[in-house]
Amino acid sequence: MSRSSLFYMDVKSRAPRAQYDHALAWSALLLLALGLVMVYSASIAIAEAGRATGHQPLYYLFRHSIFLALGLTAAAVIYQVPLRVWQEGAPYLFLLGALLLLLVLIPGVGREVNGSQRWLSLYIINLQPSELMKFFVVLYAADYTVRKAAYLDSLNRKFLPLFLVMVMVGGLLLREPDFGAFAVITVIAMGILFLGGMTWRLYAGLIVLLIASFLTLIWASPYRMQRVVGFMDPWADPFGKGYQLSHALIAFGRGAWFGVGLGGSVEKLFYLPEAHTDFLLAVIAEELGFVGVTLVLALFCVIIVRAFSIGRGAAALDRHFPALVAYGIGIWIGVQTIINIGVNMGLLPTKGLTLPLLSFGGSGIVANCCGLAVLMRIDSENRQTGGGRAP
């Protein structure tokens, strides 16, 4: 072998490895970019026709671009923060989130839209505390599980305190009401507890208790019961309880394999409510078809798989708090994605949950970007601790 070849191999072996996860970063950026295009496509008609938007077709595109800029800026800042700082601040961030949820319910402070009081007006934009709370719950549940690691088999000392805290948060969310956020936050906390070492006996009992609680909440609320009935057979009342779902299914049917083309959706023309937020996937299905939906699912799968892989890498290095945070972010993105897709396809009752990284909504976009920035920071610290080896 020539001397030049040996020199090249030596330089290549000493070259610094990438300090971030390429698959995770590019999957997130592609979803954000696709979301920007599809939000614009889905919102042109309602923006042009709306008096509140000034009849400007670019209204939602402009606002969504601002949200993306804020989210990416926040992500760039958060990526610089070590995980030990997040662990120290987790209880205080959780208290901040609970305070914001309480402020939302104060008359004259919280802003009501479509019968739900979920927003705080910041004059220029509206803040939805429940979106930030998902991020705070990931950090708090991970910190709590690490602190209580010595009491894995104790109902009173490990599970009950967190359960009472989550009941308080759940009560605030249900007062808004925001049943979807309550479901996501509950699954996040439960998932982190389980991965943190909760025994099967306690976990199985908790699952039974949660299922009974969710069924009771649905049974006790007439509007939730109507959503369940409409979900069971949307065609029985296509102009009433089944209106949203029936038009979402029509959008999926029209899209077929390759879609009707970007901008060609008919359902977004005042037929499908919330086309640019909760039902954005239906517009993607109509315009980009099965291929477009498959691409979206594949990108989300990459993010979720990488989150759990990064978590396993942190656990292998005995970095327990970062490992649980990575798992929690994967659960958060995964569960919310599954619920939104299930709602759009008629597999789950209609809930007011956006599609992460894609749907219009400033608080959701910023919270998602913050979560992914923390995930990339965990990966970076794993590489530094493990001598540059990526999981």
> Minimum mean pLDDT among 86-90, 126-130, 142-146, 220-224: which range?
220-224
Which amino acid would we find at residue 27? S
Chain centre distance of CA 191:
15
> Minimum mean pLDDT among 27-36, 144-153, 260-269: which range?
144-153
Answer for the pair 340, 307: CB distance below 8 angstroms, yes or no: no
Length of the chain counted residue by residue:
391
Mean pLDDT of the 302-316 span: 96
What's the pTM? Answer: 0.90
How much is the pLDDT for 363?
A: 93
**In degrees, to the nearest 5, what angle opens at C-alpha 363 toward C-alphas 361 and 364?**
65
**Half-sphere exposure in the Cβ direction for 229 (13 Å, CA):** 12
pLDDT in tens, 126-182: 889 999 999 999 999 999 999 887 666 666 666 777 778 888 888 888 888 888 898
Torsions phi, psi for 390 (to 5 deg): -90, 145
Mean pLDDT of the 250-277 span: 93
How are strands ordered across the β-sheet holding 110-113?
110-113, 116-121, 126-127
State yes or no: pLDDT of 216 exceeds 60.
yes
Which amino acid would we find at residue 228? V
How far apart (Å, rounded) are the C-alpha atoms in residues 47 and 37? 15
State yes or no: pLDDT of 65 exceeds 60.
yes
State yes or no: pLDDT of 228 exceeds 70.
no
How much is the pLDDT for 150?
A: 67
Answer for the pair 61, 40: CB distance below 8 angstroms, yes or no: yes
Task: Quickly count: other Cβ atoms within 10 Å of residue 110's Cβ.
Answer: 21
Q: What is the mean pLDDT of the chain?
A: 86
State yes or no: pLDDT of 9 exceeds 50.
no
How far apart (Å, rounded) are the C-alpha atoms in residues 236 and 181? 28
The 3 state secondary structure assigned to the chain is CCHHHHHHHHHHHHCCCCCCCHHHHHHHHHHHHHHHHHHHHHHHHHHHHCCCCCCCCCHHHHHHHHHHHHHHHHHHHHCCCCHHHHHHHHHHHHHHHHHHHHHHCCCCCEEEECCEEEEEECCCCEECHHHHHHHHHHHHHHHHHHHCHHHCCCHHHHHHHHHHHHHHHHHHHHHCCCHHHHHHHHHHHHHHHHHCCCCHHHHHHHHHHHHHHHHHHHHHCHHHHHHHHHHHCHHHCCCCCCHHHHHHHHHHHHHCCCCCCCCCCCCCCCCCCCCCCCCHHHHHHHHHHHHHHHHHHHHHHHHHHHHHHHHHHHHHCCCHHHHHHHHHHHHHHHHHHHHHHHHHCCCCCCCCCCCCCCCCCHHHHHHHHHHHHHHHHHHHHHHHHCCCCCC
Residue with the larger pLDDT of the pair 230 and 332: 332
How much is the pLDDT for 99?
A: 95
How much is the pLDDT for 350?
A: 79
Question: Which positions ≥6 away from 138 have C-beta within 8 Å?
Answer: 188, 192, 325, 328, 329, 332, 371
Answer for the pair 314, 322: CB distance below 8 angstroms, yes or no: yes
Torsions phi, psi for 180 (to 5 deg): -65, -45
